[in-house]
Amino acid sequence: MGNCTNCVQQQQSPQTTNLTSTSSLDNSSRSLRRNLLSNRFRTTRTFQPYTLNALIDETLSVIRTVVDTDQEAPRAMVAVSRIANREDQWLDVMIALIERIPIHDPLGATVIALLLDECSLPSKELLQQLIKRVCSDNRSRMALLESIIDDYIKDNNQQLHKSTVNSTSETYVNRDEKNHVNETTPIVNEQELEKINKIPSFSNIYSSKHPAPAAKTVNISNTQNQNKLDSSLHRERNTLVLLGCLAEKLVGPMSASMLNTIALEFIIDRVYLGIYNYSQLLSLDCDNSNCLSNYSSALKIILFALIAIEKFSHSSEAKHILLKSLTIINEQSKMNVLEYYEPWSKFNNCLKRQIGFYAQWLLDNVFILDYRRPSYEVIDHRYINVMLNDKDVSEYLKIGPDGLEARSDTVSFESVRCTFHVNTGVWYYEVLIVTDGVMQIGWATKQSKFMNHEGYGIGDDQYSIAYDGCRNLIWFGAKSIPHSNPAWKPGDIVGCLIDFNQREVIFSLNGYSLDPSRKLFASLSNRIVDGYFAAASFMSYQHCRFNFGSMPFRYPPTNVSSYKTFNEYGQLSEDEKLILPKYKKLELLRSIKISEQDCILCVDDLANVMLKPCRHTGFCGQCALKLDLCPICRSEIQERFIITE
């Protein structure tokens, strides 16, 4: 299995590495964070010396051909990393990433994160130069983003008025134009209206924090300017991705110091962009059909501003600065701007849904407000009997408060299983695709191991199989075969059916089924005792929502006579349904009194297993099965012996 970090270090000469080195702890941590893509490249094309832009294009292109787990890092990525490790060229690489990666590419933000993960850390001086270059001229750039929202509102109101006149004139010929407008004004959601009423004028709030420039002369309606506008929009998004990734790598005083620069205003202004003309936007329906529109780009910019905030908030100093910046205070109330986005988590539009999910997660886990009840206390779990298991998940995956939604924003390959397993009959579940990047969704047993830093997830061993709609592949045993369905897009539905009677798995996209796959059953000579779980793995900035039967299926299977749903047969106690925030989990861990008889890993079951040949003990049966190496001495485990005394 290749390691991109190691590949880069082996191929570059000592003289070219002039950037600030990490601490010994950081180096130890990075050595474990193997780039998941370094193990997945089918071909590595040879090329003549390219320009920096060509190397970035090459990297973006090669990611789509990642289909194996045993290949070396792509040469383009290695070359970019080598260039970035030169102090005199690091800044050029960062600017090229901002300028070159398109905003609508589903893997664009992932490429930036992966390339930055392979680069050495910058010096303080280089960091200051970068921030000055990429965050300057903020007010005029905000004017451009505001004009996009203005144009979106104007265009939609014109279309709404036109359709209203056409539809109502046939029946109500004698009504005047004023009545036409009143009859068609959409009703604002009550929860949203309550948020608005807490602060009387969003426009006044926004204007007070963001005074308009002397002259706002932005015109984006001209076709001739669209390419220029597209370039501006992807620079906005990419700058936020870059700042967030650097904050995560530089976690500590250097990361917090970035908030004492113009970077703070740059990020916070884009968070507040969503409340610009907020009350007018509430009355407009934004679906997933035009994901390439300028307004969709503006929503992506808001989303990545929220992601950047999370990546900056790992120190108490940074968290205090950000919380103060996110707080809106006027004579009548005090609120956090994230509270306005929280209701968006229920929207059908996938971009707004992501923004709402992220705002809610930040309020539950990062910016704790005294007057706000955490989501797990207010969510209605009564009809949810199966959910994603927050105790059977890799460490960086975010799970929503109802246990049905998951998201990853790290460079590792995060995975999760559900709480219910099956081993007889026919079973089906669906997944709403919220983002269109790399995810592997399917079925896995307990023997399927989550190795997020090595890039192994669902479909990467003989105990799991997965559907990949970004690269159009079916994954099994760390190998892949292409499938005939089109690439998925936000709003699509993936169907996952497992038939133990016919010993086959069937995947579908929006009701169109692939041919049955029998690889999963053909490879297993022994019966799987624990059965199969619904499971999924996520690359950077990916997001989906599961339906285990608590809601009607969008595309119920037609290729079987009958099937069962997880939610019909699963059972969870009220405590098991609670997806607790991280700080609550830590409080519980601190309160637990550990017995000498408890498993040292899960601190839940009886420690009754001895590992051989090292003879170390302290593990329960379930945890011991997940181990290949003894966690105490790191020797290979050849046998697990049950202690009966």
Give 314-348 pLDDT, tens digit per residue.
888 999 999 999 998 876 678 899 999 999 999 99
Digit-coded pLDDT (tens) for 266-310 = 999 999 998 888 777 766 666 666 677 899 999 999 999 999 999
Structure confidence at residue 37 (pLDDT)? 46
- Is the pLDDT at 206 greater than 70? The verdict is no
Cα 382 to Cα 220, 483, 500, distances in angstroms: 48, 38, 30
For 432-443, give the DSSP string.
EE-S-S-EEEEE
- Is the pLDDT at 633 greater than 80? The verdict is yes
The mean pLDDT of 344-355, rounded to a whole number, is 94
Task: Please list the helix, strand and coil fractions of the chain in percent, rounded to the nearest 5, in that order.
Answer: 40, 15, 40
- Is the pLDDT at 52 greater than 70? The verdict is yes
The mean pLDDT of 519-524, rounded to a whole number, is 78
Alpha helices, H only, 447-572: 519-522, 566-569
Percentage of residues of the chain with pLDDT beyond 90: 54
Structure confidence at residue 237 (pLDDT)? 97
The mean pLDDT of 71-90, rounded to a whole number, is 84
Alpha helices, H only, 482-628: 519-522, 566-569, 582-591, 621-625
Question: Rounded distance, CA 220 to CA 223, Å?
Answer: 8
Structure confidence at residue 541 (pLDDT)? 97
Percentage of residues of the chain with pLDDT beyond 70: 78
The single-letter code of the amino acid at 512 is Y
Three-class SS state of 446 = coil
Question: Rounded distance, CA 5 to CA 20, Å?
Answer: 16
Strand partners, 641: 610
- Is the pLDDT at 468 greater than 60? The verdict is yes
In 164-188, which positions are buried (b, 16+ CB within 10 angstroms) versus exposed (e)?
beeebeeeeeeeeeeebeeeeeeee
The mean pLDDT of 238-254, rounded to a whole number, is 92
Q: What is the dihedral of CA 190, 193, 195, 199, to 10 degrees?
A: -160
The answer to whether 281 and 302 have CB atoms below 8 angstroms apart is: no
Arch. (CATH architecture) of 388-583: Sandwich (2.60)
Question: Rounded distance, CA 179 to CA 197, Å?
Answer: 26
Question: Rounded distance, CA 428 to CA 445, Å?
Answer: 16
Cα 595 to Cα 583, 611, 618, distances in angstroms: 23, 20, 11
Question: Rounded distance, CA 509 to CA 239, Å?
Answer: 34
- Is the pLDDT at 597 greater than 90? The verdict is no
Three-class SS state of 196 = helix
Question: Rounded distance, CA 349 to CA 638, Å?
Answer: 51
Three-class SS state of 333 = coil
Q: What is the DSSP letter of 598?
A: B
- Is the pLDDT at 3 greater than 60? The verdict is no
Residue 224 — very low, low, confident or very high, per pLDDT cuts 50/70/90? low
530 versus 201: which is more confidently predicted? 530
ω into 122 cis (within 30 of 0): no
Question: Rounded distance, CA 453 to CA 303, Å?
Answer: 25
Residue 584 — very low, low, confident or very high, per pLDDT cuts 50/70/90? confident
The mean pLDDT of 225-245, rounded to a whole number, is 92
Within the chain, what is the greatest distance between any pair of CA atoms?
A: 91
- Is the pLDDT at 600 greater than 90? The verdict is no
Structure confidence at residue 188 (pLDDT)? 41
Q: How many helices (H) and strands (E) does the chain have?
A: 24, 19
Residue 235 — very low, low, confident or very high, per pLDDT cuts 50/70/90? very high
Digit-coded pLDDT (tens) for 186-196 = 334 455 445 54
Mean pLDDT estimate for the chain: 82
Tokens (6 digits) for 92: 């050029």
Question: Rounded distance, CA 200 to CA 209, Å?
Answer: 15
Cα 525 to Cα 295, 330, 443, 462, 617, distances in angstroms: 53, 68, 17, 11, 30
Report the relative pairing of strands 388-393 and 334-336 from DSSP bridges.
unpaired
Which CATH fold topology does 593-642 show?
Herpes Virus-1 (3.30.40)
Using CB atoms within 10 Å of the CB of residue 574, give its burial: 0 to 12 exposed, 13 to 18 middle, 19+ buried: exposed
Structure confidence at residue 634 (pLDDT)? 87
Q: What is the DSSP letter of 370?
A: T
Residue 35 — very low, low, confident or very high, per pLDDT cuts 50/70/90? very low
Tokens (6 digits) for 441: 């969704």
The Cβ of residue 373 has, within 10 Å, a number of other Cβ atoms equal to 8
The mean pLDDT of 125-143, rounded to a whole number, is 94
Q: Is 549 left (phi over 0), alpha (psi -120 to 50) or beta?
A: left
The mean pLDDT of 420-448, rounded to a whole number, is 95
Nearest to 298 by CA among 312, 277, 279, 318: 277
Residue 212 — very low, low, confident or very high, per pLDDT cuts 50/70/90? low
The mean pLDDT of 481-492, rounded to a whole number, is 95
Tokens (6 digits) for 541: 């900035």
Structure confidence at residue 49 (pLDDT)? 44
- Is the pLDDT at 40 greater than 50? The verdict is no
Q: In what helix (H) or strand (E) does residue 336 lie, and over which residues does it extend? A: strand 334-336
- Which stretches of 520-627 are assigned E, i.e. beta strand? 532-538, 542-547, 609-612, 617-619
Tokens (6 digits) for 365: 């886990």
The answer to whether 327 and 360 have CB atoms below 8 angstroms apart is: no
75-84 vs 4-11: helix crossing angle, rounded to 10? 60
Question: Rounded distance, CA 315 to CA 303, Å?
Answer: 21
399 versus 183: which is more confidently predicted? 399
Q: Who's near 58: CB < 8 A, 6+ residues apart?
A: 45, 47, 50, 74, 76
- Is the pLDDT at 107 greater than 50? The verdict is yes
Question: Rounded distance, CA 362 to CA 377, Å?
Answer: 16
Structure confidence at residue 29 (pLDDT)? 40
- Is the pLDDT at 199 greater than 80? The verdict is no
The alpha carbon dihedral of 181, 182, 186, 188 has a sign of positive
The mean pLDDT of 58-63, rounded to a whole number, is 85
Q: Which of 21-25, 33-37, 39-43, 291-295 ranks highest by mean pLDDT?
A: 291-295
The answer to whether 468 and 487 have CB atoms below 8 angstroms apart is: no
Residue 143 — very low, low, confident or very high, per pLDDT cuts 50/70/90? very high
Using CB atoms within 10 Å of the CB of residue 603, give its burial: 0 to 12 exposed, 13 to 18 middle, 19+ buried: middle
Nearest to 418 by CA among 444, 449, 438: 444
Q: How far apart are the first and last CA of the chain?
A: 41
Residue 219 — very low, low, confident or very high, per pLDDT cuts 50/70/90? low
pTM score, whole prediction: 0.81
230 versus 359: which is more confidently predicted? 359
Q: What is the DSSP letter of 381?
A: -
Question: Rounded distance, CA 269 to CA 301, Å?
Answer: 11
Structure confidence at residue 165 (pLDDT)? 60
422 versus 582: which is more confidently predicted? 422
288 versus 376: which is more confidently predicted? 376
Taking the domains of the chain in order of start, what are their residue ranges? 4-122, 138-372, 388-583, 593-642
Digit-coded pLDDT (tens) for 564-578 = 999 999 999 999 999
Counted residue by residue, the chain has a size of: 645
67 versus 521: which is more confidently predicted? 521
Residue 211 — very low, low, confident or very high, per pLDDT cuts 50/70/90? low
316-326 vs 294-312: helix crossing angle, rounded to 10? 140
